[in-house]
Structure 1
Amino acid sequence: MAMVQHLLLVEDSVSLARVLEEALAPRAHRITHVTTLAQAREALRTQPPDAVLLDVSLPDGTSDALLEDLLAVEPLPYVIAISGSATAEQAFRLAAGGVRAFVPKPLDLARLEDVWTRTLASPPELVPVLRASAGKVPLHHFEDLVRDTLVDEALARAKGSVRGAARLLHISRQLLQHILNARD
């Protein structure tokens, strides 16, 4: 299983959270467990995670209400949703909002491990975003948005290092510097 620095575990069942913390402890340097959307929002603001394991139904609402908060985190965390009662509509909203995978309850830890490994090894699916933007955004604005987002994300992942960001983007440091200079 792939390793992350900080995992935010959003799960209202304390007993299930304990099992998940134990199972995921070798996969995350630090795990923060919260039980509500309000606590999750606070954790996202104060302790941005690399990955989020997100229960769909929580005492103060459903996790699709958290999607905007998740999309604001830089770098964008890997998000895996878990639920025993999510509707098809909720699952669709979660997927459209950046949730990378869905694991049904009752949880099978072997399946969770497989989903975790595949999710952390693959880039996000861009096709839904591209399809949703067709006809709504002029192409040159969309190209600028995609380039700026990729650059910002790479810089965030490289902790501000232009050399590291260029390596992540598979471009030369000089080209990245040119892109950054053109922004000003």
Structure 2
Amino acid sequence: MTARQRALIVDDEPDIRELLEITLGRMKLDTRNARNLKEARDWLAKESFDLCLTDMRLPDGSGLDLVQHIQQRYPQTPVAMITAYGSLDTAVNALKAGAFDFVTKPVDLARLRELVNSALRLSDKASEPGAVDSRLLGDSPPMRALRSQIGKLARSQAPVYISGESGSGKELVARLIHEQGPRSEQPFVPVNCGAIPSELMESEFFGHRKGSFTGAIEDKQGLFQAANGGTLFLDEVADLPLAMQVKLLRAIQEKAIRPVGGQQEVVVDVRILCATHKDLAAEVAAERFRQDLYYRLNVIELRVPPLRERREDIQQLATAMLERLSGSAQSPARLAPEALDKLKSYRFPGNVRELENMLERAYTLCEADVIQAIDLRLSEAPCAANGEDASLVNIDNLEDHLESIERKLIMQALEETRWNRTAAAQRLGLSFRSMRYRLKKLGID
């Protein structure tokens, strides 16, 4: 006979504890209850739990303290926060601390059952081996850290902002977060926000009712409804127009959408992941992106490193790509040592996507399935290894040209040190004072 799953309920209000015990009991869960932090910690030390539900305010501390305690000592136990209605900031803080999800008072029982089922699916997946390594290649420290972060974020329902340059693999990271989490059996719906015409955006996101505008000949589901129960991945979210940002913010806060031409709101259960190659904080500062939406999307930020920060992974990536390109050939194409050296010294402004395109082109040009340095055509590439123009032709002003080279080298150093000016100065062999002077002279903020 299979042992029943067990939940720990932590709340100082007897009525709430009783309501939760009855609801979870009907879901065939055994329950234990605690009135405060001390009792909760005692139960956790004595028994193992598949789920913990805790109130935010407890007589001897905060529910956040319990979230952190469980994160540190019992990381396989999902913990959900019960918060007062309207206290979204509190819920966001709980998600940042490591809570799986949250539910507001007065507790909606349908929403609670949905949350519990998701948490139990997460417990079931805890012992499954991850599928991250087969697609997210690389043994460099940044990639090992990224895989670890994906595993942790998959266990949460918090919105995640995935930052990184074009071609670095942001959509793959989003897909892996979805597949490792409790929503893996539900849809993963990716959408490029920059590819939707602004006049169709509301209909695409929220759907429309028949006759709501010219050409609306039937009801249509929007992206939120298509992703219901699963994950909606908003790629290039910085390209959303301001008017649409307001509507998206409301949909995220209310967990409901109103189709164009519809009279009733439709409840949706969607986890939001988003990405952009732009600096979203800079877009907020320039007033092109709403600050309140930024805070809702950027509960947790996950940075995908550019290829130049993990050059030691290039050989492994290239080998896997060439095996895929070679298909059913008995022996896959390979890189000559000189070609591999060339790749390792190249900056890859287009990241993994550029490497893949480069190898695909070289594979069609090479002889005897061996890619030589000349087949890579790096001399024709848009960016040389050191970031400088290779030609000095048509220089009208030497000072301007030298300033341009200086700017490129400083920008490269700043990018590679994640805008740490002290580290960038050390990389360039400059004192911090000299670096500060040059940044001011070149107008680099």
Question: Match for residue 161 of structure 1?
Answer: none
2:145 to 142, 146, 149: 142
Deviations 1:142-182 (A, max 9, x none): 26x839x89xxxxxxxxxxxxxxxxxx9xxxxxxxxxxxxx
How far has the Cα of 1:90 moved from its partner?
Answer: 2.8
Equivalence for 2:222: none
Separation of aligned partners in 1, 2:42 and 2:80: 19
* Partner AA of 2:142 in structure 1: L
Deviations 1:120-145 (A, max 9, x none): 33579xxxxxxxxxxxxx426626x8
User: Which residue in the other structure is 2:240 paired with?
Assistant: none
In structure 1, list runs of 5 or more residues that go unmatched. Answer: 125-137, 151-168, 170-184
Structure (1/2) with the larger strand percentage: 1
1:4–1:83 Cα change, 3 Å:
farther
**1:82 is matched by which residue type in structure 2?**
I
Shift of 1:13: 0.8
Amino acid at match of 1:77: T
Greater relative contact order (Cα < 8 A, sep 6+):
1
- The verdict on how the C-alpha distance between 1:120 and 1:5 changes in structure 2, with shifts beyond 3 A counting, is closer
Of all paired residues, the percent bearing the same amino acid is 26
Residue aligning to 1:56:
56
Runs of 5+ in structure 2 lacking a partner? Answer: 127-140, 153-179, 181-445
Taking only aligned residues, the RMSD between alpha carbons, in angstroms, comes to 3.1
Which of the pair is proportionally richer in helix?
1
Maintained 8 Å contact 2:17/2:33: yes
Counterpart for residue 177 of structure 1: none
Q: Secondary structure at the match of 2:99?
A: coil
Distance 1:28 1:21 in 2: 11
1:44–1:73 contact (8 Å) kept in structure 2: no
Give how far 1:5 is off: 1.7
Pairing of 1:27-106 with structure 2 (within 5 A): 27-74=27-74, 76-84=76-84, 87-106=87-106
**Is the Cα–Cα contact under 8 Å of residues 8 and 49 in structure 1 kept in the other structure?**
yes
- Say if 2:68 and 2:98, in contact at 8 Å, map to a contact too: no
* Residues 50, 75 of structure 1: 8 Å contact kept: no
Mapped contact 1:95–1:101 kept (Cα < 8 A): yes
Contact 2:10–2:33 under 8 Å retained in 1: yes
Instruction: Tell me how far 1:28 sits from its aligned partner.
Output: 4.7
Counterpart position of 2:20: 20
- Give the number of equivalent residue pairs: 134
Q: Identify the residue that residue 112 of structure 2 maps to in structure 1.
A: 112
Q: Give the Cα separation in 2 of the matches to 1:33 and 1:142.
A: 36
Larger Rg: 2
